[in-house]
Structure 1
């Protein structure tokens, strides 16, 4: 039998700048080696003095690396941490009126400091996960995920293994840090005043005391691998405006065959190969947008009105 236990102590109270989170937790519960301690990003941010005056709108620009999508009052952005969150994870709940809570500046560093402080107070080897709430692109509702981690194997790699039917596993890699965050939220609750949770039963994921592991940053998909760097509407506008600053949102440059297929689909004429590039017929503005969205560039116009599309330089 496999058993997982999740505990969330009551009685933490309001957290303020400078509070010792490890002392608050250890006053209410006894930790064991192999425990995973989860703490909401909000109380970490409060303890680190990340409460600022103003509104979400006031703080949004400073927390945004790139706008991903806008729908009515909702703005989804990629933060400076690499996270994709509504309103950059800025929180206006459970905070004094006229103030908002920003995410910790470096959630992985916050997790490392808390882990070391817990070890100093208890002598126990535990892992720490800093959690936040996020929506999912294809599903209603929100769930908690890991934005910071220390001392934890954040993903389990199954690639290269075989299932009991003998099938090779190629890309299976459960994001266990996110799964633990979701389990913790079930017992913490949004209105329960329980910012900490302790998960017991997955000591196999906890790393030795001297090893903080890769952190939750290892779960952030690199921009050149992101297939959803912009919302559907935003992608059209960004491709047509072709601002070089927006290139990262379209991911890695596409292979020539992918661009050729797109050009043929849009213009009705399959392009021909021209050295490393493609010679295309069609409106220059359309070809420029297609090239930009695929990570290519518009080259010279040949005689006969054919436009050459070239791979982007390094």
Structure 2
């Protein structure tokens, strides 16, 4: 099996109101690439948030008392901390240089997913307001133009429990189930799998992150081609929720 990762070059820095679909189609044309059935487009959340005008001006924020206290503990700017609090439904943990929160959409991650990279000084981008809807809108628009069956996954860069370093993570998806439940299948020795569940959308996001990068690569859109599980996981009504662990099962917050 061969899995191909294709980074779309030539996509400019996005600003509010830009049409991401048109930018992708133009980049495809310039690179002489045609989308194919079962292609999966991985799109960086910063690009989506900027196009949707979901930008935080840190200069406009008045820090609360809680933000000032947490800022002293973490050595972070108090205005950024206030933005993190406002984007969360719960502050889960505060360390010497990190703030773990549960976002309004249920993601447990650092800094409520707020990103200060690849935006102008004094600005920050939170996660898209509704990453599943953003993914669905982009997928439907691209499918309408190309006539192909596609999937779109919105990606973010997040850390992981008990591991050093960040990886690409899925925060929104459309067109493919993000979780592959393999219970009942057989292993190489013929034994039946009892509970195997694969976070396919996260695995695809991590693969795409190798191309997207975290610095000045300028490749916010990556096409994954050749994923053999596409047809099995095809679902036009999919969303990211199956990957979110319900709080009652989170043994570290009990």
Runs of 4+ in structure 1 displaced over 3 angstroms? 206-209
**Offset, 1:166:** 3.0
What residue is the counterpart of 2:44 in the other structure?
Answer: 40
User: 1:76: which partner in 2?
Assistant: 100
5+ residue gaps, structure 1, are 230-249, 251-314
Q: Which of 143, 150, 153 is 2:177 aligned to? A: 153
Which residue matches 1:25? 24
Cross-structure match for 1:138: 162
Q: Could you tell me whether the CA contact under 8 Å between 1:85 and 1:135 is conserved in 2? A: yes
Please show how residues 299-310 of structure 1 align to structure 2 within 5 Å. none
Contact 2:84 2:111 in 1 (8 A): yes
CA contact (8 A) 2:40 2:152 kept: yes
Structure 2 gap segments, 5+ residues each: 29-33, 59-78
**Normalising to structure 1: TM-score of the pair?**
0.69
CA distance in 1, matches of 2:221, 2:231: 18
- Per-residue Cα deviation, 1:108-137 (whole angstroms, up to 9, x for no partner): 111001111111222221000000011111
- Mapped to 1, the partners of 2:108 and 2:166 lie a distance apart of 13
* Alignment equivalent of 2:146, drawn from 106, 122, 127: 122
2:210 pairs with 1:197: no
Q: Distance in 2 between matches of 1:207 and 1:103?
A: 29
Assess, with a 3 A threshold, how the Cα gap between structure 1 residues 156 and 208 changes in structure 2: closer, same or farther.
closer
CA distance in 2 between counterparts of 1:171 and 1:204 reads 18
Q: Any idea what the Cα deviations from partners look like across 1:259-282, whole Å, max 9, x if unmatched? A: xxxxxxxxxxxxxxxxxxxxxxxx
Residue 73 of structure 1: how far off its partner (Å):
2.9
What is the aligned partner in structure 2 of residue 294 from structure 1? none
Secondary structure of the structure 2 residue equivalent to 1:228: helix
- Superposition map of 1:152-301 within 5 A: 152-191=176-215, 192-202=217-227, 204-206=229-231, 211-229=235-253, 250=254
Shift of 1:207: 7.6
1:67 aligns with 91
CA contact (8 A) 1:145 1:178 kept: yes
Q: What is the distance in 1 between the residues matched to 2:147 and 2:190?
A: 43
Which is worse superposed, 111-120 or 199-208? 199-208
Contact 1:126 1:206 in 2 (8 A): no
Which residue of structure 2 lines up, in the alignment, with residue 9 of structure 1? Answer: 8
CA root-mean-square deviation:
1.6
Q: How many residues align?
A: 228
CA distance in 2, matches of 1:11, 1:56: 31
| In structure 2, distance between residues paired with 1:208 and 1:133 | 24
Q: 1:114 to 1:207 in 2, by over 3 A?
A: farther
